[in-house]
């Protein structure tokens, strides 16, 4: 299913400044005073803004915890995140449909999307692919996986900290199931930076509904995924369908994508509460 209207306009208004919301975990750190959170961040070698709030420090520490856990997982030969291999074919189709030739994949992981984009014909033979990630273990795996393809290269880059690679030839930007690992402020900064660096690029954003919501804890205490029927109703415009869940984070992501680029189409995965936004600054 596809719609040309921005999803946040159909499902609720998120005003600026955007609320600071992120993946579960930061709330537990808010019990500590800012000085302790700052000391913990500096001890880990993290760059801390002089006037960072307690909430900002908490989200910074949670991001670092996730990065460190991913490094350990890859070092141990394990998968750090859930596989999205089944969702990549739609992204490859969109790459081909929009005639994208030079891709920048932000948060590329161990090269799963790269392998499909370069191997299925989504990217032309004279195209190029640059994958960036903040996990060195993922970058090393991706380099080994795509070592035989001269179109592909990978480098480490801390997107949440505002780092962007040097890549002048970019007409396609890919955020494949990445935004939900960032808090809303970090995601907004990233999207602003991407729009300034590559204003003519087409942006593809893939999201899972269950990882982009807060609230509604399940029996184990962790947030429970919404039932498929409720997720479909919400995506169709029924704001009350997910009343037990805090949907502001998802809507903030949509607001940021639409503000900095402009959502021109929304594609749905038929058997899961996942979607892809196509966005361009020249939509008008």
| pLDDT confidence of residue 223 | 61
pLDDT band, very low/low/confident/very high, at 7 (cuts 50, 70, 90): low
Separation of first and last alpha carbons in the chain: 22
Residues 65 and 130 in one domain: no
CB 126 within 8 A of CB 101: yes
Higher-confidence residue of 208 and 223: namely: 208
Distance of alpha carbon 110 from alpha carbon 67, whole angstroms: 14
Whether 140 and 30 map to the same domain: the answer is no
219 domain-assigned: yes
Digit-coded pLDDT (tens) for 23-34: 888 989 999 999
Q: How confident is the model at residue 228 (pLDDT cuts 50, 70, 90)?
A: confident
Asked whether residue 152 carries a pLDDT value surpassing 90, the answer given is: yes
The H-assigned helical ranges of 120-260 are 136-145, 184-197, 228-235, 248-260
Residue 21 is assigned to a structural domain of this protein: no
Residue 241 and residue 107 share a domain:
yes
Pair (138, 217) in one structural domain: yes
The answer to whether residue 114 sits within a structural domain is yes
Task: Say yes or no: 63 and 90 in one domain.
Answer: no
82 — pLDDT class (breaks 50, 70, 90): confident
Same domain, 136 and 244: yes
- Is 132 part of a structural domain of the chain? yes
State mean pLDDT over 1-6.
Answer: 47
Q: Do 143 and 198 have their domain in common?
A: yes
CA–CA distance, 3 with 7 (Å, rounded to integer): 8
Q: What residues make up the domain containing 31?
A: 26-75
Most confident of 5-19, 31-45, 80-94, 207-221: 31-45
pLDDT digits over 132-147, tens only?
999 999 999 999 999 9
**Which CATH number belongs to the domain containing residue 141 in this structure?**
3.40.50.150
Q: Pick from 54, 75, 96: which residue ends a domain?
A: 75
Cα dihedral 96, 100, 103, 105, rounded to 10, equals -50
Task: Tell whether 32 and 161 lie within a shared domain.
Answer: no
Work out the pLDDT band at 1, boundaries 50, 70, 90. very low
Residue 126 lies in a domain: yes
Task: Please give the pLDDT value at position 4.
Answer: 44
Tell whether 94 and 63 lie within a shared domain: no
- Specify the pTM: 0.93
Q: Quick one: 115 and 183 in the same domain?
A: yes
Within a domain: residue 209? yes
User: Does 58 share its domain with 161?
Assistant: no
Residue 141: CB atoms within 10 A of its CB come to 20
What pLDDT band is residue 6 in, cutting at 50, 70 and 90?
A: low
The answer on 245 and 123 residing in a single domain is yes
User: Among 186-190, 218-222, 265-269, which range has the highest average pLDDT?
Assistant: 186-190
Calculate what percentage of the chain has a pLDDT beyond 70: 92
Average pLDDT for residues 100-122, to the nearest whole number? 93
Instruction: Give tens-digit pLDDT for 25-79.
Output: 898 999 999 999 999 999 999 999 999 999 999 999 999 999 999 999 999 988 8
CA atoms within 13 A of residue 36's CA, in its CB half-sphere: 5
What's the structural domain count of the chain? 2
Task: Say if 20 falls within a structural domain.
Answer: no
């Amino acid at each position: 299913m596809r719609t040309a209207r921005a999803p946040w306009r159909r499902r609720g208004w998120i005003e600026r400044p955007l609320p600071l919301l992120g993946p579960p975990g930061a709330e537990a750190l808010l019990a500590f005073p800012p000085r302790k959170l700052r000391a913990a961040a500096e001890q880990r070698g993290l760059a801390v803004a002089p006037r960072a709030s307690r909430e900002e420090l908490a989200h910074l520490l949670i991001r670092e915890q996730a990065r460190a856990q991913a490094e350990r997982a890859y070092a141990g030969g394990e998968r750090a995140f859930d596989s999205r291999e089944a969702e990549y074919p739609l992204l490859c189709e969109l790459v081909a449909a929009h005639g994208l030739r030079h891709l920048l994949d932000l948060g590329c992981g161990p090269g799963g999307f790269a392998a499909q984009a370069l191997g299925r014909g989504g990217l032309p033979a004279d195209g190029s692919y640059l994958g960036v990630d903040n996990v060195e273990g993922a970058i090393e795996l991706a380099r080994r996986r795509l070592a035989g393809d001269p179109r592909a290269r990978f480098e480490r880059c801390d997107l949440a900290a505002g780092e962007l690679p040097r890549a002048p030839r970019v007409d396609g930007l890919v955020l494949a199931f990445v935004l939900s690992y960032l808090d809303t402020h970090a995601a907004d900064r990233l999207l602003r930076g991407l729009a300034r660096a590559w204003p003519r690029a087409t942006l593809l954003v893939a999201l899972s509904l269950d990882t982009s919501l807060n609230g509604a804890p399940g029996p184990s205490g962790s947030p429970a995924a919404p039932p498929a029927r409720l997720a479909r109703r919400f995506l169709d415009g029924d704001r009350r369908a997910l009343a037990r869940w805090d949907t502001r984070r998802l809507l903030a992501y949509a607001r940021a994508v639409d503000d900095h680029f402009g959502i021109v189409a929304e594609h749905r995965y038929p058997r899961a509460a996942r979607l892809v936004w196509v966005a361009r600054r020249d939509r008008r």
